[in-house]
Amino acid sequence: MRTFFQILFLPLFLWQSVFSQGVINQQFNYADSLFKAQNYFDAITEFKRLMFFDSTGNYKFASEMKIGLSYKAGGKYSEAIESFVNAAKYAEGEAEKFNAETQIIRTQILARKTDAALNLISELKKNADDNQKRLLLYWRGWAFMFATKWEKAYNQFQIIKENELSQVCKDVINKKYSVNFVKEISYIIPGAGQIYTGNYLSGLMSLGWNVLWGYTTVKAFLADRVFDGIMVGNLLWFRFYRGNFQNAEKFAKQKNIEIYNEAFGYLMNKFKGLKP
């Protein structure tokens, strides 16, 4: 009798399973359509709804990946990383796992979590094949660029012969100002740092004020007006002398930011290769 009921209800159970799987497939397609339409907020909601009802777990990897990409597109990098970590747990095979882990790296780069990205790259390199190692070096170069370590980025891109990105880094290296050099020449010749960075009026004024108050201070000491010399030296000459190299440092940093932004603008708008 027991066998009879099992045979009788077996088609019902099979039909329910097929029906449920069909609904799950439709839900995934619907959520994916929202993702492709860049309706990321609703896509996240629908993918989470899908995972709740997906008792088989067939769509957990794909759903977590799409949720992570949606968060990433919205600039919610911490949430994106969490989803990619979950996707790596649900991955079937090394290829899917590596894909999820490289997405973690790419999101860490965008979030300026350079050390975390470099550490994960080093960890993945241990068991990576040649193609994977090349891709990891590529993302290492991007991590260094986002950290404005252009020389290190250039070296990475040179290793993998990524010529366009190598040239971007080389151009920045050739254009950017050495902040230490600007400060050092300002110590020696007040105003020289400002003039070197193209701020001619500020540099000439700095030079003029330092010459004026330096001359006044020395003249006071030579005339045995020690108190006047101390007061002028401390209150005026030292103030302008210190302001001279502080301004030079500020101008150099501002100029470098402009150079970096120009490079990032090129990468965002004109570079056609893979980006974080």
Residues 44 and 71 sit within 8 Å (Cβ to Cβ): yes
* 18 band by pLDDT with thresholds 50, 70 and 90: very low
What does the pLDDT look like over 93-115, one tens digit per residue?
999 999 999 999 999 999 999 99
What does the pLDDT look like over 119-133, one tens digit per residue?
999 999 999 999 999
If you average pLDDT over every residue of the chain, what do you get?
A: 78
> 8 pLDDT exceeds 50?
no
Alpha helices in 37-93, H assignment, sequence order: 40-53, 60-73, 77-90
Pick the residue with more confidence: 124 or 7? 124
Nearest to 137 by CA among 129, 125, 145, 127: 125
Q: Cα separation of 141 and 153, whole Å?
A: 4
pLDDT of residue 141: 96
Q: Cα separation of 44 and 127, whole Å?
A: 32
* 206 band by pLDDT with thresholds 50, 70 and 90: low
Q: Which residue has the tokens 């990383």?
A: 81
Residues 267 and 168 sit within 8 Å (Cβ to Cβ): yes
pTM: 0.75
Mean pLDDT over 125-144 rounds to: 94
* 255 band by pLDDT with thresholds 50, 70 and 90: confident
What does the pLDDT look like over 42-91, one tens digit per residue?
999 988 988 888 778 788 999 999 999 999 999 999 999 999 999 999 99
pLDDT of residue 205: 54
- Run of H or E including 109: helix 94-110
Q: How many CB atoms lie within 10 A of CB 51?
A: 21
pLDDT of residue 272: 93
* 216 band by pLDDT with thresholds 50, 70 and 90: low
